[in-house]
Structure 1
Amino acid sequence: MVRVLHSADWQLGRAFGRFEPDVRAALIEARFDAIDAIGQAARTHDASHVLVAGDVFDTEGPEDRTIVQALSRMERYPCRWWLLPGNHDYARNGGLWDRVRARRTTNVMILTEPAPQEMEDGIWLLPAPLTHRHNLDDPTADFDTMATPGARLRIGLAHGSIRDFGSRGEANNQIPPDRAERSDLNYLALGDWHGVLEIGSRTWYAGTPETDRFQRDLPGHVLLVDFMGGEGPEVTPIRTGRFQWLIREWRVNDAASFDAELERLMGEVDPAATLLQLSLVGITSMTDRVAILGRIEHDLRHRLRHLDLRADDLVARPSDDDLASLSGEGMLGAAAAKLYAKVRAGEGDAALAKRALERLFVEHTRGAAA
């Protein structure tokens, strides 16, 4: 049995500039730690080769530290690492990959030429390195004519789109979905799509080993690919990612429904390893809206690694009790009644009146608590 690991889209050196410094540092370090997770998986599952299908680095000009960190992590493990240039780190003379070669170790193989490599006796790797960020031609077209004498296995390694992923993937570097069949490949290891995706029994995207965007719930994985005799490959995802990036929309109508959603979430995740994009939708009393947002700011935000809150669609409607609490406040009550009338009438400045009424109620509530 021959066993390899298939990975892609490490995006080492990604800056994560939108995040606070402590979150940014954790996300950057997690991408390097994913190399160790892959190396440990190779050791655990007795895989001699790790195939990285492009975008090892996030740019074609990473810092020296990024290159050294990557190579030193790979050097720790006895497997061989096969690195393919993708659209973010494409191959060009005098560029990134010459810098990597100057520092590489004996177990790191750089595939900047579309030439077949015999990884072991009769096991051939057919690489399709990208030489530009956007290639109009099929980068795997040369697989048809690559000679692999005495081949027991032919494994393709490429970076590009099997189909148009729209805004979530590259529309260039198009690869036909039947490339494995056309070129008599036992397996086609692909990169570019950042989640695990089976195109066919012999064609897979490994996804990124450490998730890097709010797009899917699953953490990062590497694929364990077993070739057993003349049978097709058996592909098994193995988790490597530390962080989960979740998108949630909660429809809440009172503080109790928010508490129920929060309790459910906390029971499903590791908060310190969770980045959450949370949208709140619903109509609540002002009292409940203030309570919900207060719990988010003073509790949930501190539990999670990162929180991106969108609460504009959580509408505060003052209840009779809310208005009654202001009615005895003289001028304050009169102002609240006038603002609420504008909100209900839907006049041109109703949105401004709603914000002013909410602020009035919040400040009144704070004053009463003091």
Structure 2
Amino acid sequence: MRILHTSDWHLGRSFHREGMLGHQAAYVDHLLAVVEEEHVDLVVVAGDVYDRALPHVDAVRLADEALARLAGSRAKVVLTSGNHDSAQRLGFSSRLIDAAGVHIRTDAAGVGTPILLEDDHGTVAVYGLPYLDPDAVREPWGLPVRSHEAALTAAMGRVRADLATRAGARSVVLAHAFVAGAPDQVRPSDSERDISVGGVSLVPTSVFDGVDYAALGHLHGRHTLTESVRYSGSPLAYSFSEATQVKGSWLVDLGAHGLDSATFVEAPVPRPLARLRGTLEELLADPRHTVHERSWVQATLTDAVRPLQAMDRLRRRFPHTLVLGFEPVGARPVGVPAARVSGRSDHAIALEFVEQLRGAPATEAESALLLTAVDACCEDPDVDVLLSGTVDG
């Protein structure tokens, strides 16, 4: 059986206020092409189909189109809910949709009930584990502690109990959690929502021992934790911390005795990401940055003094600059300056604030603008009390 493992679509998500629905639609086109070209039998989507519990109508429309196209393809589909999804909304009409070969699993109570598929070597039992909130399952499942490890261990106990009744069946499990053999084995990205409970979110890979393949979701970078336990990562980059990640999905072959191979299939990159650092003039003049002129750019300027109109000037060369930061070389980190206010004018305090924060005094034009702003905010001592609304009539 040939399986395509994907996760964390986050349909409807924006990237620093830039809409990504068109890029997500391009990924769906790529996914369908891989299904046909690689003769995929099963597509598994390990959670976070949407970016929010109440997705925008355009995101729902794209999800509907994606699932309809997959239902009409050669592949079966098993899809689970993630921590960003509303399990009830995503799972609506799932029992009816099963008949189309699209199996949506969002109910924790059904974790021990597999979707049974057949290939030349017999039965493959596919267990779709939705995101398991420890607070939601602790009481009904009688968990000894409140943790992700306890919740997934209990779920896998139900999986193993069912699998023990299916002699010779191979197994695939979908799960949405922070799984690692050691705390430093994987590095989360900035776009992943924290799911820790009591400061603990890590689940050991040993929870999935004995499973032929564990298709994981939640982390946005691809990771091979063991040969049979893998993250596909998100199909698109959702933060600049993912700029160096290669996005895509795992093409997994199950043979007669379990996992035969897993090959990573790269996804298209509609717009690459770049993190640039240097003085403004260096970034504007360096020919090495020509390759980034169509990229989404995060720029960090190292000028000793903040350049004027830095964003406007950067966007003339890099039109898709989204984030601009300042880290002057050799400057000590500063917070909000603490100015001496006693006996000084508001204008003088504002000028000192600008100089301390920027590293250079305000220009004459800026000083005049600040004076106008300060005067506009000050109480007018000549206001007529009778016109201020304090006297009736």
* TM-score, normalised by the number of residues in structure 2: 0.67
Gap change, CA 1:297 and 1:87, over 3 Å in 2: closer
Gap change, CA 1:280 and 1:209, over 3 Å in 2: same
1:86-101 equivalence runs, <5 A = 86-92=82-88, 95-98=89-92
Q: How far off is 1:132 after superposition? A: 4.2
Partner of 1:195: 221
Gaps of 5+ in 1: 317-346, 361-370
The Cα offsets for residues 322-368 of structure 1, whole Å up to 9 and x where unpaired, read as xxxxxxxxxxxxxxxxxxxxxxxxx88743771414978xxxxxxxx
CA contact (8 A) 2:301 2:325 kept: yes
Residue among 69, 73, 78 paired with 2:74: 78
CA contact (8 A) 2:250 2:265 kept: yes
Partner of 1:279: 300
Taking the aligned partners of 2:54 and 2:311, their CA distance within structure 1 comes to 42
Residue among 110, 114, 119 paired with 2:117: 119
Q: Which moved more, 1:190-199 or 1:109-118?
A: 109-118
CA contact (8 A) 1:49 1:80 kept: yes
CA contact (8 A) 1:67 1:100 kept: no
Partner of 1:240: 267
Q: RMSD value over aligned CA atoms?
A: 3.7
CA contact (8 A) 2:7 2:47 kept: yes
Opposite residue 41 of structure 1, the aligned amino acid is V
Partner of 1:30: 23
Partner of 1:351: 356
Taking the aligned partners of 1:103 and 1:67, their CA distance within structure 2 comes to 16
Q: How far off is 1:145 after superposition? A: 1.8
* TM-score, normalised by the number of residues in structure 1: 0.70
Taking the aligned partners of 1:198 and 1:179, their CA distance within structure 2 comes to 15
Taking the aligned partners of 1:125 and 1:36, their CA distance within structure 2 comes to 25
Q: How far off is 1:228 after superposition? A: 4.2
CA contact (8 A) 2:91 2:105 kept: no
CA contact (8 A) 2:5 2:45 kept: yes
Gap change, CA 1:309 and 1:349, over 3 Å in 2: closer
Gaps of 5+ in 2: 137-146, 332-351, 367-393
Instruction: Give yes or no for the alignment of 1:258 onto 2:283.
Output: yes
Residue among 125, 143, 151 paired with 1:138: 151
- Name the SS of the counterpart of 2:91 in structure 1: helix
Q: How far off is 1:117 after superposition? A: 1.6
Gap change, CA 1:36 and 1:294, over 3 Å in 2: closer
- Name the SS of the counterpart of 1:56 in structure 2: coil
- Name the SS of the counterpart of 2:204 in structure 1: coil
1:92-241 equivalence runs, <5 A = 92=88, 95-98=89-92, 106-112=100-106, 113-114=110-111, 115-120=113-118, 121-130=122-131, 132=133, 136=147, 137-139=150-152, 140-141=155-156, 142-147=158-163, 149-163=166-180, 168=192, 169-172=194-197, 174-181=202-209, 184-217=210-243, 218-230=245-257, 232-241=259-268
**Identity fraction in percent:** 21
Gap change, CA 1:162 and 1:349, over 3 Å in 2: closer
Gap change, CA 1:101 and 1:28, over 3 Å in 2: farther
- Name the SS of the counterpart of 1:81 in structure 2: strand
Partner of 1:337: none
Gap change, CA 1:242 and 1:180, over 3 Å in 2: same
Q: How far off is 1:131 after superposition? A: 5.5
